[in-house]
């Protein structure tokens, strides 16, 4: 099963701590502070990007809600205007209002 994002971050944090705690034993396999620092930098950048992504998701939800609201308001205004045009203007002129209705 694929690991969750939170689990990946936790694994990375533990790996960095483990490498730093056992750098002498790992020196023979060229795993040391340089690799730990690089992994920690990736970890920090990933957290930063995740925070930005969550902020953008929240902004997108707000924007989508506003878009939906304004779209509904426009639909309502068009429906109302259409009714008023039909009551006042002869059917032969409805096309000038963008209406292809027959009735």
* Tens-digit pLDDT profile for residues 18-42: 999 999 999 899 999 999 999 999 9
How sure is the predictor about 7, in pLDDT bands with cuts at 50, 70 and 90?
Answer: very high
pLDDT tens readout for residues 30-83: 999 999 999 999 999 999 999 999 999 999 999 999 999 999 999 999 999 999
3-state secondary structure of 2: coil
């Amino acid at each position: 099963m694929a690991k969750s994002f939170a689990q990946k971050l936790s694994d990375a944090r533990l790996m960095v701590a483990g490498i730093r705690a056992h750098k002498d034993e790992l020196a023979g396999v060229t795993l040391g502070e340089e690799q730990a620092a690089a992994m920690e930098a990736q970890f920090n950048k990933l957290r930063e990007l995740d925070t930005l992504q969550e902020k953008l998701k929240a902004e997108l939800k707000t924007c989508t809600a506003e878009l939906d609201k304004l779209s509904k308001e426009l639909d309502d205004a068009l429906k109302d205007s259409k009714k008023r045009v039909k009551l006042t203007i002869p059917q032969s002129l409805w096309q000038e209002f963008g209406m292809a209705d027959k009735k």
